[in-house]
Structure formats: structure tokens, C-alpha cells
């Protein structure tokens, strides 16, 4: 077991020891102890990132606000219960911007705390790219616009 010393002189475990303890193995030559050889695919819901987006203040709502920060928006998220004419109007107002349609207004209320909101914009950031990556991994495609990272 290796210990490293922090600036305050307390002993802490090295990362190698943490990996060995989490694997429950004391054999260092074991291939199963190498995290690069193990690839566990677990489905992670994209909704787990929404509280972080709220905390980072990258979520914007409101027609006037979204128009004002049009060039700073990474993508738009629409509800499924929005009218088709409104979807067409949004696609016309934000050309070249990825627009995704998923969830309902009640889901938006649960995830973001916004009541009767049908359109949410995400400002460009690393977290926005992570959310987009999760949407793409779910097989969700953009309604229109460039489907590249912001």
C-alpha cells in the first residue's frame, strides 16, 4: 500500500490503491485491475445533467431572452406537446441551430422548475456539449440545423 502526503502532512491513499480497494483485488498484475481493459456500459439518463445546467446558469427561457442571446445558444430543447406551427416558427427564427424535441411540459417542470415552458435554450458550454452528446447517444436527432457541437 502506497501513501502520498498532501500539503498539510496527512496521509492519503494513492489512486492506484483506491482502484485496488474498489476492485477487491490485491494482485497488481491482474488484468481486471486495469480500468482501461474493463468497459462497463451502463445507461445513464441525460436528465442527470439538468440540475448541473441550472446551477451553471446555462439554461434560458422566454422568447425575447432566446432572441437576444441567439448567438450564444448551443441548442434548443422543445417539448413534445408544442404545436407544429410553433415548432415551424422556432425553426424559422433560429436557423442553423440544433433543435431537439423531447419530454413534456410536466417533465420540464420536474427537471427545471419552469411551469408551462415549452422551449428551453442551452448556452454554449462544455456541459451543453455533454448534454448534446448524451442526446446523440440516445439516438435523438435534431429537427433541423447543424448537428455539430457548439
In degrees and rounded to multiples of 5, residue 97 shows phi and psi of -105, 130
Q: What pLDDT, in 10s, does the model give residues 1-38? A: 555 555 555 555 555 555 555 565 554 444 445 555 44
In a shared domain, residues 13 and 53: no
Q: Is residue 39 part of a domain?
A: no
What's the mean per-residue pLDDT of the chain? Answer: 80
Residues in contact with 54: Cβ distance below 8 Å, sequence separation at least 6, in sequence order: 112, 113
d(CA 148, CA 134): 13
Q: What is the pLDDT of residue 42?
A: 45
Q: What pLDDT, in 10s, does the model give residues 69-93? A: 999 999 999 999 999 999 999 999 9
Residues in contact with 58: Cβ distance below 8 Å, sequence separation at least 6, in sequence order: 74, 122, 123, 125, 127, 128
In a shared domain, residues 27 and 97: no
pLDDT score of 49 more than 90: yes
In a shared domain, residues 132 and 62: yes
Domain that holds residue 109: 46-137
In a shared domain, residues 17 and 85: no
pLDDT score of 40 more than 50: no
pTM of the model: 0.66
In a shared domain, residues 68 and 130: yes
How does DSSP classify residue 37?
Answer: T
Q: Is residue 90 part of a domain?
A: yes
In a shared domain, residues 8 and 82: no
Q: Is residue 96 part of a domain?
A: yes
Q: What is the pLDDT of residue 69?
A: 96
Residues in contact with 76: Cβ distance below 8 Å, sequence separation at least 6, in sequence order: 66, 90, 94, 97, 98, 99, 100, 119, 120, 121, 122
Amino acid at each position: 500500500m502506497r501513501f502520498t502526503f498532501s500539503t498539510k502532512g496527512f496521509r492519503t491513499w494513492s489512486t492506484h490503491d483506491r482502484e485496488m480497494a474498489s476492485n477487491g483485488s490485491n494482485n497488481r498484475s491482474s488484468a481486471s485491475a486495469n480500468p482501461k481493459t474493463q468497459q462497463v456500459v451502463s445507461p445513464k439518463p441525460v436528465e442527470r445533467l439538468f440540475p448541473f445546467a441550472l446551477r451553471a446558469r446555462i439554461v434560458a427561457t422566454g422568447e425575447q431572452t432566446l432572441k437576444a442571446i441567439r448567438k450564444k445558444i448551443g441548442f434548443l430543447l422543445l417539448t413534445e406537446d408544442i404545436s407544429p406551427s410553433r415548432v415551424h416558427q422556432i425553426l424559422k427564427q433560429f436557423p442553423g441551430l440544433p433543435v431537439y424535441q423531447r419530454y413534456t411540459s410536466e417533465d420540464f417542470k420536474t427537471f427545471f422548475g419552469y411551469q408551462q415552458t415549452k422551449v428551453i435554450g442551452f448556452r454554449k458550454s462544455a456541459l451543453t456539449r455533454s448534454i448534446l452528446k448524451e442526446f446523440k447517444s440516445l439516438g435523438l436527432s435534431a429537427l433541423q440545423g447543424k448537428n455539430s457541437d457548439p
